[in-house]
Amino acid sequence: MEKIDACKNGCMLYWKDDIDLDYCKFFGEARYKPTRERNPNRKKTMYAVLRYLSLTPRMQRLYASEGTAEQMMACQPLDGGGIHVPLI
């Protein structure tokens, strides 16, 4: 799972070319919550984080379970050797 910083308004991700920005390029909102004066060495806290899981691991997890793998079959085998394609 990849964590990508996001604007608290949800208008942009701090990713690729924008990874080094500290303020939203659309509204000027701060990327990080203000730190307390008492502990300036503390790690910066983002306002919002997008958790991204790429398609391949998601599909692997779905097909790992026998129950969900069976439900995800697009074509169901029939007793006579044919297949049934659902019309959605």
| CA–CA gap between residue 67 and residue 81 (Å, rounded) | 22
Residues 3, 49 contacting (CB under 8 angstroms):
yes
Domain ranges of the chain: 2-76
Question: What integer pLDDT is reported at residue 6 of this predicted model?
Answer: 96
Mean pLDDT of the chain: 86
Rounded to two decimals, what is the model's pTM? 0.61
Question: What integer pLDDT is reported at residue 33 of this predicted model?
Answer: 92
